[in-house]
Structure 1
Amino acid sequence: MTDRPIHAQSAEDVLRIAGDNPWRKYPAPQSQGDRLYPIARPRPRPSFAIAPGDSIYAMGSCFARNLEGALDQLGLEVLSRRLNYADMVPEDRLAANFLNKYSIHSMLNDLEWALDPSSYPGETAVFHLPRGANMIFDPQLGIPKLPGPVADVLAFKERYFASVGQIFQADVIILTLGYVETWFDIGLGRYLNLAPPRQVVEAHPGRFEFRVLSYEDVLAGLRRFHALLVAHRDRPLRLLATVSPVPMAATFRDCDVLTANAYSKAVQRAALEQFAAETEGVDYFPSYESVALSDPAVAWRADDYRHVSGDMVMQIMDSVLRAYMGEEVAAQTREDTHPDATILAEARLLSRAENWTELAALLDADPAVMDRHPNLIGMRATACKALGDLDGCYAILHRGHSIAPEQPGFVERMVWVSVHAGETLRAQQWFRYHRDNFPDRHADFRAQIGASLDVA
């Protein structure tokens, strides 16, 4: 038995600290429940600050691409978005995955090759796809097929390594760990980023091995990653690390993907806790917890259970910037670029969660934002109706019509609300307005409600 805790402190100090910690107790419906549902809001613990002019480099799984997009929208300089790789992506739908790095070991490969491109194995590190029309498999990138010839792929890799090299000049680095199910190229002694296709495995028998990383593997990789960074930088390291909340699509192990994914996230989360505790300039930020603990209807895209909704990503990065920049600086950064991005994201999240009370409070705190975005007026009207305030619902819809008279939806909803409120004359007035001003819109709507209102 070893005695190596990641944190040790006197009982007296711990009791004092616990007494001063407002986030110590797990939320309950009666106490801080809104910190958990519908949107989990765990508090980051910054050990350094981010300035508006700082440059950012993000490396990791697809969640890193999500974070890049949110940071770019919030006005920060994101170096890792500068590489132009359109000529290497055979299908538009694959572009988002191109730069994904799924394990700490595949990220280490990129750092080492960026520092010394001559050490890259070249043609022996890529594979012709036997049944592909001049298609190449590069197991170190994020998509399985690249257009040949090999010379073009290798020329691109030179550009790619130069782009990765910007990580050594970035002011702040964001690292997102993806999976611990990895593949190893025995011939080159290197971990792969992608699983080799069956046709490549069959063409190179005995060359590849499947490996599931341990806690020790991940932690050793993180330490090596850090050592390379600090040895080749001319400025102090500020690194934000997290575990991607995106689950694995499938497992190669003989077990349920649900348990395989739970292990993958748990072991990387544990390794990051140790890594951040022992390493100056490294913070863990809880994006994994934000997504995993939130209402699934809010956290995930509507079409699957794997990809985080864009609005959830925006909320996470806004909370990070507020923690690391301070409320005033973060607010000014948003104001200078996309002033309404975070409130739009928050409103959509609350609407998806049908949390009408919080949605109403959010929009009422800044009524002008609804004037700039009429779709928010529709959300506010829905909140009024759900909360039983038909008069308020009608008033907000009327406001929407005044701002955007060309949108028939406000008129149609005013007709319906007036009918439900027993305001027949008012409903008839707006019905005639709809008929006269939007003659090609929803004939079935007018036929249905016109009969009930006795309006021809």
Structure 2
Amino acid sequence: MTHPYEDMGPEAYWKTAVAAPGAHGLTGLWSPKFAIKPNHRIVTAGSCFAQHIGNALAERGYLWTDCEPAPPYLLGDEARTFGYGVFSFRTGNIYTPSMLLQWLELADGARDEVREVWQKDGRFFDPLRPAIEPNGFASEDELWAARQSTYAALRRAIETANVFVFTLGLTERWHNRETGLEYALCPGTVAGEFDAEQHVFTNTNTRTTQRSLMRAIRFARSKNPKLKVLLTVSPVPLTATASGAHVLTATQYSKSVLRAVAGMAAEGSKHVDYFPSFEIITHPIFRGMFFAPNMRSVVPEGVTTVMKHFFADQARVFGAPRMGKTRKRIAAVVPKGEEDIKCEEELLNAFAA
């Protein structure tokens, strides 16, 4: 061998790996580090695209785990309206790694509670998840009792899961200058009042984002040393940006940072992996075919293609799974189509001129 390129397989060359097979002939995009089996307890959280992954796993009979199920008087779509069955716990969307870290530490008591509450029309809203109660809570006591229930569900999920799937969505975030509390959405958009002196916008860089993600992973694994973490990056563009940049370039910045950070987190780690759902949806070889006419929402065919690669590559590396009994009770809870996906950031569309 005169140089390394003589001994590489066809997957290493664009001509043989991409151009020749074309968009629908791509194979081997992912070489998973660990098996994800149907009987593994799988919990999901993060950006809205994580809901698609939970749905696909549940429909295949995998043990997607809902650690905070809806009360018996809330069923189906009504339960989802109140934030149940969307993720494995009722946190709503967790868009940033720093927000994930905040939830983990608050649930464990490792971070001091900030008793901030937003109000609107005499109702009370949780600044960490203002959209889970569409009309707000009736009282502050009810809000804090609900938060404690979610803390318990989050602890239970992390401590008992085999696999935690987390989808990174944003680098843009809002927080309180005095308390450091990070919000799910900008104050004043859903509820509360915006204060330019108190409410601070930041757009995290690669270094800051990576630090938050690694701290969150280490924290979760300190509670469950056997926990495997599968990272994905949401392909869904930003609804709006507060960065001052055009929303298209702001989206590219955010996704580039998140993709780089996810790759760095997985590099050299046996218990952290990255699955390329972002690339499958957004790469130019697919010519935008997986986006709806608004060029933001992912159509069902895109989700199907993503999960086809997920299951195919798991089977290629670890063999076909033994499915066992399908768990229909879970598949009835998770979303069925793009119109069912809960994405709190989309609420910002209401402020577009």
TM-score for the superposition, normalised by structure 1 = 0.61
Rounded Cα–Cα distance in structure 2 between residues aligned with 1:317 and 1:159:
32
Does 2:25 align with 1:23?
Answer: no
Deviation at 1:32, TM superposition (A): 2.7
Rounded Cα–Cα distance in structure 1 between residues aligned with 2:197 and 2:25:
47
Determine the structure 1 residue equivalent to 2:106: 113
Which has more helix, going by share of residues?
Answer: 1
Match of 1:200 among 184, 192, 201: 192
Report 1:353-368 matches (<5 A): none
Determine the structure 1 residue equivalent to 2:267: 277
Identify if the C-alpha distance between structure 1 residues 138 and 326 changes in structure 2 by more than 3 Å, giving closer, same or farther: same
Identity score, percent: 24
Determine the structure 2 residue equivalent to 1:175: 166
Q: How far does the alpha carbon of each residue in 1:284-340 deviate from its partner, in whole angstroms, 9 at most, with x for none?
A: 11000000025356312x4532121233223322322332344895465399679xx
SS of 2:230's equivalent? strand
Determine the structure 1 residue equivalent to 2:241: 251
Q: How far does the alpha carbon of each residue in 1:6-56 deviate from its partner, in whole angstroms, 9 at most, with x for none?
A: xxxxx99x927x73333112257994342xx25866611211112221010
Does 2:230 align with 1:240?
Answer: yes
Rounded Cα–Cα distance in structure 2 between residues aligned with 1:190 and 1:314:
37
Q: How far does the alpha carbon of each residue in 1:223-274 deviate from its partner, in whole angstroms, 9 at most, with x for none?
A: 10111012111x4231111111111101112221000000000011111111
Letter in 1 for 2:188: P
Identify if the C-alpha distance between structure 1 residues 296 and 120 changes in structure 2 by more than 3 Å, giving closer, same or farther: farther
Determine the structure 2 residue equivalent to 1:223: 214
TM-score for the superposition, normalised by structure 2 = 0.78
Rounded Cα–Cα distance in structure 2 between residues aligned with 1:72 and 1:265:
27
SS of 1:153's equivalent? helix
Determine the structure 2 residue equivalent to 1:371: none
Rounded Cα–Cα distance in structure 1 between residues aligned with 2:327 and 2:288:
29
Letter in 2 for 1:74: R
Does 2:172 align with 1:184?
Answer: no
SS of 1:239's equivalent? strand
Rounded Cα–Cα distance in structure 2 between residues aligned with 1:117 and 1:81:
21
Match of 1:127 among 93, 103, 118: 118
Contact in 2 for aligned 1:105/1:221 (Cα 8 Å):
yes
Contact in 2 for aligned 1:39/1:298 (Cα 8 Å):
no
Which runs of 5 or more residues in structure 1 are unaligned?
A: 1-10, 342-456
Match of 1:268 among 229, 236, 258: 258
Determine the structure 1 residue equivalent to 2:341: none
Contact in 1 for aligned 2:241/2:247 (Cα 8 Å):
yes
Rounded Cα–Cα distance in structure 2 between residues aligned with 1:303 and 1:117:
44
Letter in 2 for 1:230: R
Rounded Cα–Cα distance in structure 1 between residues aligned with 2:100 and 2:137:
23
Identify if the C-alpha distance between structure 1 residues 229 and 115 changes in structure 2 by more than 3 Å, giving closer, same or farther: same
Letter in 2 for 1:284: Y
Deviation at 1:215, TM superposition (A): 0.3
The root-mean-square deviation of aligned C-alpha atoms, in Å, is 3.4
Determine the structure 1 residue equivalent to 2:303: 313
SS of 2:175's equivalent? strand
More relative contact order in 1 or in 2 (CA 8 Å, sep 6+)? 2
Determine the structure 2 residue equivalent to 1:61: 47
Report 1:401-440 matches (<5 A): none
Determine the structure 1 residue equivalent to 2:337: none
Rounded Cα–Cα distance in structure 2 between residues aligned with 1:298 and 1:167:
36
Alignment size in residue pairs: 316
Rounded Cα–Cα distance in structure 2 between residues aligned with 1:283 and 1:29:
22
Determine the structure 2 residue equivalent to 1:76: 62
SS of 2:173's equivalent? strand
Determine the structure 2 residue equivalent to 1:209: 200
Rounded Cα–Cα distance in structure 1 between residues aligned with 2:281 and 2:249:
18
Does 2:87 align with 1:101?
Answer: no
Determine the structure 2 residue equivalent to 1:298: 289
Contact in 1 for aligned 2:17/2:26 (Cα 8 Å):
no
Determine the structure 2 residue equivalent to 1:425: none
Identify if the C-alpha distance between structure 1 residues 311 and 221 changes in structure 2 by more than 3 Å, giving closer, same or farther: same
Determine the structure 2 residue equivalent to 1:51: 37
Rounded Cα–Cα distance in structure 1 between residues aligned with 2:213 and 2:131:
24
Does 2:156 align with 1:163?
Answer: no
SS of 1:125's equivalent? coil
Higher Rg of the two aligned structures: 1
Contact in 2 for aligned 1:184/1:190 (Cα 8 Å):
yes
Contact in 1 for aligned 2:232/2:276 (Cα 8 Å):
yes
Which runs of 5 or more residues in structure 2 are unaligned?
A: 332-353
SS of 1:147's equivalent? coil
Determine the structure 2 residue equivalent to 1:437: none
